[in-house]
Amino acid sequence: MSNEISNIHPSTIIEDGAKVADDVIIGPFCSVGKDVEIKSGCRLESNVILKGSLVIEEDVKIFSFTTIGNEDSDIRIGTKTHVREFSQIGAQDSDQTDNNKISIGSNNFIMGYVQLHIGVELGDFCILTNAVKLYENVKCEERVIVGGLSSIEANNTIGTGVMIGGASVINTDIPPFTLVEGNKANVKGLNVIGLRRKLENKDDLEEIKAIYKKVLVDNIDKELSLEISQTHENEYVKRFTSFIAQSNL
């Protein structure tokens, strides 16, 4: 594809085979690899490097000095996601041969200096603040918020609606709807504000609080969690207890 379109800076290099929608805006000194697809409404600021098999969905904005992908990676970035300056997504060398994918959902906000390694899955409406690092095969479900300078070690899952405090180190699965902080991080309580925003029936919050105390506060009761997940009618209680029952806690 030619880079002579008016909304693509002439200093940018777009390799033959790349697919770039006509309205995409690309700033100076960017590099777009041959297996990259950038869909309508996207914008790349200066010095962005895109490599490997990469699909960027509509209305994504990628800020300066970000690198996404390597020669072997397979990455998809969902609609309306913002990736801020100096982030690296799947750009690191990895010894993994069985999973070279990264999946990023829609409406995410990835702040500056974030690093996402191969195998990461990010749900919708997540926020990763400055200098967060997610190692191989980390999965974040939807609406996860990770405080700055935190890291999540490989092969752990962060449940829906979790809020992680700054400078935390996560080395286990984290149950949905909880507040977590520390090095090494511990669950400090329920994300009550997040639950209030999400729950249609506000009385459900008290029920979730009661279940939380039974299965997580004094000790982690996986057997009881499994029983509750199989018999309880509330979808949030089922999600919370099912996660605990299957977790590596």
Tell me, what CATH number does 40's domain have? 2.160.10.10
For residue 92, name the pLDDT band (cuts at 50, 70, 90).
confident
Residue 38: how many other CB atoms lie within 10 Å: 25
My answer on whether 132 and 22 are in the same domain is: yes
Token pair belonging to 80: 């309306």
Q: pLDDT, tens digit, for every residue of 149-160?
A: 999 999 999 999
- Domain total for the chain? 2
Residue where one domain finishes, among candidates 137, 154, 183: 137
As a whole number of Å, the end-to-end CA separation of the chain is 50
Q: Look at 60-74, 87-101, 205-219 and tell me which has the smallest mean pLDDT.
A: 87-101
Query: Long-range contact list for 123-127, CB < 8 A, 24+ apart?
Result: 123/160, 124/78
Question: Distance (Å, rounded) from C-alpha 8 to C-alpha 215?
Answer: 55
Statement: residue 44 has pLDDT above 70:
yes
Three-point CA angle 39, 44, 49, nearest 5°: 100
pTM for the whole structure: 0.94
Query: Mind listing the pLDDT tens digit for each residue in 66-88?
Result: 999 999 999 999 999 999 999 99
Residue 2 lies in a domain: no
Query: How many Å apart are CA 36 and CA 207, to the nearest integer?
Result: 47
Q: Which of 137, 169, 204 delimits the end of a domain?
A: 137
Residues 6+ apart with CB under 8 A from 246: none
User: Does residue 126 lie in a domain region?
Assistant: yes
* Shared domain check, 97 and 207: no
Do 110 and 226 lie in a common domain?
no
Residues 104 and 219 in one domain: no
Is residue 237 in some structural domain?
yes
pLDDT tier for residue 3 given thresholds of 50, 70 and 90: very low
**Pairing relationship of beta strands 82-83 and 109-110 according to DSSP bridges:** parallel
Using the predicted structure, report yes or no on whether residue 2 has a pLDDT greater than 70: no
Domain that holds residue 229: 196-246
- Residues 35, 131 share a domain: yes
Burial of 140 (0-12, 13-18, 19+ CB in 10 A): buried
